[in-house]
Amino acid sequence: MGRTVLPYSHVWEEERSRWLKFRRALRKEDQVHLDRLFELARLHLQAGVYASNPWPLESILLSMLLEHQKALSSLERRLHSLEEPESGVRT
């Protein structure tokens, strides 16, 4: 274990370094966001391990999307509560 197949966290690291050139050409203010995206993907490493997809970037992208969906839902809820405070939804 861990000799033939790279640990998933290393795969994540490799994938990130694969996009370093991409990152370099980004504007500085955008680089921060790219870094954050990769960090978000780390939160679901265990799912990536379990799925063991041969194309790890897919798992990584999906993890990023997942965190986005969560953020979106939460913002929607906040917005909803601000627009209609009487609806009783907590923020």
Kindly write out the interface string for residues 1-30 of this chain, putting x where it contacts other proteins by CB under 8 A and - elsewhere.
xx-xx-xx----------------------
**Nearest-10 crossing angle of helices 56-83, 8-18:** 80
Provide the 8-state DSSP code for 88. Answer: -
Rounded (5°) CA angle 65-20-66: 5
- Whether the CB-CB separation of 55 and 15 falls below 8 Å is answered with no
Among 17, 18, 26, 50, binds other proteins (CB under 8 A): 50
Q: How far is the CB of 5 from other proteins (least distance, A)?
A: 4
Residue number with CB closer to other proteins (18 or 70): 70
Amino acid at 46: Q
Residues that bind other proteins in the complex, under the rule CB under 8 A = 1-2, 4-5, 7-8, 39-40, 42-46, 49-50, 52, 54, 67, 70-71, 73-74, 77, 80, 87-90
